[in-house]
């Protein structure tokens, strides 16, 4: 390993009393082992090394690893930035942290293992979506967790037609519809009543949000399926939300076409990742 990019969430870092000191220690550890490091602006400022600053989008370029200090939201953004080019190691600066499983307090001590090739990797599927209208594709997006079509305005039910491949699945009177990866099954989809899916199960989850019917249920479809979501005209503002971070307004007559992406995210871990252990710990499941 010769080069590492580090993406730091400044809000999470500021809320961590020891965060800046631990970041400086980890940086020193990488440099002592001959690894060149580039940080985003807030990270470089936190360690007093402005000469190491780079634009966020440039951090994966030429890097052997992208180390992300923050929470799951920061990792989701990093996954879209890296877009399959480089593995992502999540360092948890507080919060739930389903994806960021290395505590920041352990980062400096982990540097030798990271640089000596002790990391283990798992691949996570992603979704690609297109906003399609009469004139063709107007916008494209990539997501690690989910794509959500929902109303953006007042609290009124909208009618959402959902198709799987060329077959009509349902028209939901609801607040919206979530199309999620297995990784995203423990995020918004779970809150909306969707199933928990192991990250290595190759499927797509379709979950209606607050459906105005007792018969609507989440549906698990094949990873090869194409899910098309369209909202019936109602005068309501509707948008496509990507990983809860990127938004595209939907115009009347447009539809969102979602499928599994060819690109995958590689998550790096120290030691073997245990999905079930994470579930017990993060969701507070008790044991007898």
Q: Are residues 136 and 244 in the same domain?
A: yes
Please tell me the predicted confidence (pLDDT) of residue 118.
Answer: 94
Cross-strand pairs, 122: 267
Please tell me the predicted confidence (pLDDT) of residue 28.
Answer: 97
Query: Distance between CA 71 and CA 226 in Å, rounded?
Result: 30
Last residue of a domain, one of 117, 137, 154: 117
CA distances from 15 to 11, 40, 109, 267 (A): 6, 18, 21, 25
Local structure of 4: helix, strand or coil? strand
Please tell me the predicted confidence (pLDDT) of residue 154.
Answer: 66
Last residue of a domain, one of 98, 117, 136: 117
Domain containing 214 equals 126-262
Residue 140 maps to which CATH number? 2.60.200.30
Q: Are residues 99 and 132 in the same domain?
A: no
Is 274 a domain residue?
no
Q: Are residues 30 and 109 in the same domain?
A: yes
Residue 44 maps to which CATH number? 3.40.50.10330
Q: What digits encode the pLDDT tens for the residues 213-242?
A: 888 999 999 999 999 999 998 888 899 999
Q: Are residues 45 and 75 in the same domain?
A: yes
Q: Are residues 149 and 75 in the same domain?
A: no
Q: Are residues 82 and 104 in the same domain?
A: yes
Q: Are residues 243 and 158 in the same domain?
A: yes
Query: Distance between CA 280 and CA 286 in Å, rounded?
Result: 7
Q: Are residues 170 and 75 in the same domain?
A: no
Last residue of a domain, one of 72, 91, 117: 117
Is 45 a domain residue?
yes
Query: Distance between CA 267 and CA 265 in Å, rounded?
Result: 6
Tokens describing residue 176: 């919206």
Tokens describing residue 113: 């293992």
Query: Distance between CA 250 and CA 147 in Å, rounded?
Result: 13
What pLDDT tens digit does each residue of the chain (288 aa) get? 999 999 999 999 999 989 999 999 999 999 999 999 999 999 999 999 999 999 999 999 999 999 999 999 999 999 999 988 999 999 998 776 789 889 999 999 999 999 999 999 999 999 999 999 999 999 999 999 999 999 887 667 899 999 999 899 999 999 999 999 999 999 999 999 999 999 999 999 999 999 998 889 999 999 999 999 999 988 888 999 999 999 999 999 999 999 999 999 999 999 876 888 888 887 878 665
Q: What digits encode the pLDDT tens for the residues 258-281?
A: 999 999 999 999 987 688 888 888
Residue 102's nearest CA partner among 243, 2, 113 is: 113
Residues 6+ apart with CB under 8 A from 104: 16, 18, 19, 22, 23, 69, 91, 92, 93
Q: Which residues are catalytic?
A: 72
Is 284 a domain residue?
no
Query: Distance between CA 283 and CA 243 in Å, rounded?
Result: 20
Dihedral angle of Cα 233, 227, 170, 207, to the nearest 10 degrees: -100
Number of other residues whose CB lies within 10 A of the CB of residue 121: 12
Give me the phi and psi of 130, to 5 degrees please: -130, 135
Is 269 a domain residue?
no
Is 279 a domain residue?
no
Is 268 a domain residue?
no
Q: What is the largest CA-CA distance in the chain?
A: 61
Is 282 a domain residue?
no
CA distances from 112 to 13, 80, 108, 200 (A): 23, 27, 8, 29
Is 93 a domain residue?
yes
Q: Are residues 138 and 247 in the same domain?
A: yes
Q: Are residues 142 and 258 in the same domain?
A: yes
Task: Work out how many domains the chain is built from and give that number.
Answer: 2
Q: Are residues 104 and 149 in the same domain?
A: no
pTM here is 0.94
Q: Are residues 110 and 25 in the same domain?
A: yes
């Amino acid at each position: 390993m010769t080069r590492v990019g580090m993406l730091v969430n400044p809000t999470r870092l500021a809320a961590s009393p020891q965060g800046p000191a631990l970041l400086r220690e980890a940086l020193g550890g990488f440099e002592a082992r001959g690894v060149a490091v580039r940080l985003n602006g807030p990270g470089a400022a936190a360690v007093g090394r402005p000469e190491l600053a780079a634009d966020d989008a440039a951090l994966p370029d030429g890097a052997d690893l992208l180390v992300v200090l923050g929470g799951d939201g920061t990792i989701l953004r990093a996954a879209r930035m890296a877009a399959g080019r480089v593995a992502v190691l999540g360092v948890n600066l507080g919060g739930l942290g389903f994806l960021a499983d290395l505590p920041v307090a352990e980062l400096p001590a982990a540097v030798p293992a990271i640089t000596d090739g002790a990391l283990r990797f798992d691949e996570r599927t992603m979704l690609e979506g297109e906003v399609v209208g009469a004139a063709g594709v107007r916008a494209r997006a990539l997501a690690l967790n989910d794509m959500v079509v929902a109303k953006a305005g007042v609290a009124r039910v909208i009618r959402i037609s959902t198709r799987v491949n060329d077959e009509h699945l349902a028209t939901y009177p609801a607040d919206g519809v979530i199309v999620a990866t297995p990784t995203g099954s423990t995020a918004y989809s779970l809150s909306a009543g969707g199933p928990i899916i192991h990250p290595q199960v190759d499927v797509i989850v379709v979950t209606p949000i607050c459906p105005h019917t007792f018969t609507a249920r989440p549906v698990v479809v094949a990873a090869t399926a194409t899910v098309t979501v369209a909202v019936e005209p109602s005068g309501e503002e509707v948008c496509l939300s990507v990983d809860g971070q990127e938004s595209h307004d939907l115009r009347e007559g447009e539809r969102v076409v979602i499928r599994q992406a060819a690109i995958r995210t590689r998550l790096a871990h120290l030691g073997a990742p245990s999905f079930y252990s994470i579930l017990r710990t993060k969701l507070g499941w008790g044991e007898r």
